[in-house]
Structure formats: C-alpha cells, structure tokens
C-alpha cells in the first residue's frame, strides 16, 4: 500500500517536471500577442492553447514562417528581432536583433535560409535557418535626396532558392537568387510603380504581384519569364472616384488566390477587386463594408473572407466566389485584426484584438466553434504554412 502510494507520488512528480509529451507538430500554430511581446502556442485538433513563449520584443507588426519540419517558428518583430521559437519545447531557441525596424520575411525553398525585409536600415538580410548566423546583407537603393535606403516590403520565397521583394520608396522589385554557392545574384526591376506596399506570390510560385499605394494598380512579374519584365495590372480601378482615407495598410499574400480568380483589396475604395489568375484582367469589383485589410480565400476556393481597417474593423464579410456577392456580414467583436484558415479549411481562426480573444469559426456553418483568451491578439499562423510557397 505504502509502496504503491510512493510510486503514485513519484509518477505525479515526474509528470509534473517532464517536457511536454511526444506529439506531432502539423496541427500547431502561434498567435501573436502584440501588446505583451509574447506568442501563444495553439493546436487546431482539440482547439486548445498549449502554452506561451515570452520575450520576443516589440511585436506590433509581426509575421511568422515555419521550418519544414514544422517544429520551429521564425518570428519577425517590429524592433528588428528575428526569433526562432521551438514549438515543441515551447521556448526561444535563438534570437538576434538584426535591424532597427522590420516587417516580415520568408524561408527559402529548401528551408536553409531566412530572409528578413527591413525598413531600417532598408534592405534584406539573409540568415542561416539553423544558427541565425548572417549569410548575406543586401542593402536597398538609396532614396534620392536622402541618406536612407528604401524600405523593403512583400518578401516572398520563390521556387529555385530565390527571394523576391519590393522597395517601397524607390518603386522596385528585386529577385535575389541563392541557388549558387557564394554571394547571391540580385536582379533589379526598376520603375515598377509608385509605393509598392505589400505583395503576393501565387501558390504555384509563378506570379509575384506587388500592390501599389501611390497609384492605382499592381505590378506583376512572371517568374517563368522574368525577361519580360514587370507589367502593370488593374491600372484602371477606381478611376474618377475620390480615394477614401486608408487607416490601415491592406495586406496581400498567396491566399487571395481562389482557383481561377484572385481577390485583392482596392486601396482607398471600399471594394474587393477580382482578377483572372494568369491573365490578370479585372473581372469584377465587389462593394464591401470598409477598406479591406485581409482578403483570404477558404482553401476550397468557394468563399473569400474579408476584414477591414478602422473604423469598420469590428466586421467581417464573406464573399461567395461563384456569384461574387457578399453572403454574410459578421460582427465577431471589436478590432478584428487577422484570420487564418486551417490547411484544409475546416476552421477559421479570427483574432479579435479589443475583445482579447481568438475565435474559432466553422466557415461552412458560419458559427463560432470555440474561443481562446489572448491579450491583444494579432497575427495567427499555422504550421501548415511550412509547406506552402510564398506564405
């Protein structure tokens, strides 16, 4: 009796101090808690929180990519911090402060390199994904009449061990090719348009489209034919209409592609624009409740979910991609900042910043399946991104 009690106590003690038990990592994700500089580690099978990792610096604008084994999250922070987080051990593996101000980055096709796009100093730095040692430093163009370099936005990983990104201040798209040992080969496309603010790469890695803030339209580069140069698409939207103020910059990424159609936010107009994927001709414009920020296709391509800039950021709208109509207007709560689908689209996680929670929606029934508390949640990122090009 005494002995079994001892074993029981020993067992409890061991369980208490053991590492988290053996588990896979394909259903994991992270929620950025922007005000506290922490990450919440979550899982989408039981829809629970597994823990929190702190000490990631200023995460007011953070984004995340994952190692191909889906164990590590690389977090790009506003303060120039690049933090490698071990999702299984739930701790920081390594952290470097590599710049003064950064916005995002990408992981190379083979998973060995991490590229970070920096605002300050303007340019891209590339790191060894394992050690976070600096591999290459590629300063951007000096902004004419100043001493500073152009801010870099829209960094994406392109097939062939390349990184592609846009220069906000000088209107350029650069492709940095790391396929050969030694220094990368950088090709520059200049005069692509005024103030590219973000970009998307189609899920097959072929087309890179940078959204323009300073003028209407997008700049498109066909990576199968870079020799054809950058061409302008969507140049005519909103012509003759007065631009509305934009209180939050829209975002673009590969999830705006829903099969044969691509849905993008109109800048300064309360519309989502529809293009043919491939010909990039505009095929529609859908009136929505505010300035769109994220326009995300459900993985089956049947719906597109849209959230909005202040002061309409308590709403989310759902567009049917067949009829191009808004089929639902939801009000999840104050300040909806981000949405993330699970890889096969059975769940949509929504961060409601001022509601201090993450909501888990069934995107087929349009019902809430669960909620997790989180202080000021912003970006939500699932490890399934590890195997998607351009995310």
Partner 1 sequence: MARFSVMAAALGGILLGGALLGAARAEPGMLRQGQLEHLLRQDCGSCHGLRLTGGLGPPLTSQALAGKPRELLIATITHGRPGTPMPNWDALLDDQDIAWLADRLLQGHPPP
Binding-site ranges for partner 1 (CB under 8 A): 34-35, 58-61, 78-79, 101, 103, 119-120, 151, 168, 195, 197, 213-214, 245-249, 310-311, 335, 353-354, 376
Q: How far is CA 129 from the centre of its chain?
A: 18
Residue closer to partner 1 by CB (options 144, 245) is: 245
CB of 60 to partner 1, least distance (A): 3
CA-wise closest residue to 93 among 108, 114, 109, 124 = 114
| Residue 154 or 363 with smaller CB distance to partner 1 | 154
303-308 β-sheet, strand order: 292-297, 303-308, 316-320, 325-330
Nearer to partner 1, 119 or 163 (CB): 119
Task: Classify each residue of 155-179 as buried b or exposed e, where b means 16 or more C-beta atoms within 10 Å of its C-beta.
Answer: bbbbeebbbbbbbbbbbbbbbbebe
Given the complex with partner 1, which of 184 and 290 has the nearer CB atom? 290
Give the residue with the Cβ less far from partner 1, 136 or 246: 246
Q: Which is nearer to partner 1, 87 or 200 (CB)?
A: 200
Kindly tell me which of 213 and 349 has the beta carbon lying closer to partner 1: 213
- Find the shortest distance in angstroms from Cβ 288 to partner 1: 18
Least CB distance to partner 1 at residue 43 (A) = 27
Comparison of 101 and 282: residue with beta carbon closer to partner 1: 101
Closest CA to 383 of 48, 32, 43, 19: 43
27/172 with CB nearer partner 1: 172
Inter-residue contact 208 to 217 (CB < 8 Å): no
Q: In angstroms, give the least distance from the CB of 83 to partner 1.
A: 17
Query: At 141, is the secondary structure helix, strand, or coil?
Result: coil
Nearest to 100 by CA among 156, 154, 58: 58
Q: What angle do CA 315, 320, 321 make, to 5 degrees?
A: 125
32 closest CA partner among 293, 377, 359: 377
Taking the CA of residue 343 as centre, how many other CA atoms within 13 Å lie in the half-sphere pointing to its CB? Answer: 15
The distance of closest approach from Cβ of residue 61 to partner 1 in the complex, given in angstroms and rounded to an integer, is 6
Tokens read off for 80: 């120039």
State the minimum distance, in angstroms, from the CB of residue 260 to partner 1.
Answer: 32
Query: Whose Cβ is closer to partner 1: residue 232's or residue 248's?
Result: 248
Q: How far is the CB of 196 from partner 1 (least distance, A)?
A: 12
Exposure string of 299-338, with b = 16+ CB inside 10 Å and e = fewer, is beebbbbbbbbeebbbbbbbbebeebebeeebebbebbbb
Neighbours of 103 (CB within 10 A): 23
| Distance in Å, CB of 78 to partner 1, minimum | 5
| Nearest distance, CB of residue 57 and partner 1, angstroms | 10
* DSSP H or E stretch at residue 204: none
CB of 283 to partner 1, least distance (A): 28
Is residue 45 within 8 Å of residue 383, measured between CB atoms? no
How many CB atoms sit inside 10 A of residue 22's CB? 6
Structure token pair of residue 187: 């090709």
């Amino acid at each position: 009796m005494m002995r079994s009690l001892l074993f029981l106590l020993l067992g409890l003690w061991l369980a208490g101090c053991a590492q988290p038990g053996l588990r896979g990592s394909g259903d994991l994700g992270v929620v950025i808690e922007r005000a506290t500089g922490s990450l919440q580690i979550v899982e989408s099978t039981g829809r629970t929180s597994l823990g929190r990792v702190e000490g990631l610096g200023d995460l007011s604008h953070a984004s995340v990519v994952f190692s191909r084994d889906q164990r590590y999250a690389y977090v790009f922070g506003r303060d120039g911090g690049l933090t490698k987080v071990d999702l299984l051990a739930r701790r920081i593996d390594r952290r470097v402060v590599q710049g003064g101000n950064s916005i995002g980055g990408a992981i190379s096709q083979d998973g060995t390199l991490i590229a970070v796009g920096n605002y300050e100093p303007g340019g891209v730095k590339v790191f060894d994904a394992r050690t976070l040692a600096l591999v290459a430093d590629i300063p951007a163009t000096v902004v004419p009449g100043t001493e500073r370099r152009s801010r870099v936005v829209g960094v994406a990983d392109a097939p062939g061990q390349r990184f592609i990104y846009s220069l906000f201040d000088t209107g350029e798209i650069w492709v940095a090719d790391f396929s050969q040992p030694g220094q990368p080969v950088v090709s520059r496309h200049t005069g692509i348009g005024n103030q590219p603010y973000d970009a998307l790469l189609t899920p097959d890695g072929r087309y890179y489209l940078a959204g323009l803030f300073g003028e209407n339209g997008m700049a498109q580069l066909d990576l199968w034919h870079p020799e054809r140069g950058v061409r302008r698409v969507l140049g005519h939207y909103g012509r003759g209409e007065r631009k509305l103020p934009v209180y939050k910059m829209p975002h673009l990424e590969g999830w705006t592609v829903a099969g044969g159609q691509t849905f993008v936010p109109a800048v300064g107009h309360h519309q989502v624009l529809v293009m043919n994927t491939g010909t990039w001709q505009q095929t529609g414009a859908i009136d929505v409740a505010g300035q769109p920020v994220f326009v995300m296709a459900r993985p089956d391509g049947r719906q597109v979910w849209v959230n909005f800039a202040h002061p309409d950021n308590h709403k989310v709208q759902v567009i049917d991609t067949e009829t191009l109509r808004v089929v639902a207007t939801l009000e999840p709560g104050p300040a909806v900042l981000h949405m993330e689908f699970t890889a096969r689209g059975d769940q949509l996680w929504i961060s409601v910043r001022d509601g201090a929670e993450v909501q888990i929606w069934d995107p087929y029934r349009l019902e809430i399946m669960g909620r997790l508390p989180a202080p000021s949640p912003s970006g939500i990122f699932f490890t399934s991104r590890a195997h998607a090009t351009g995310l």
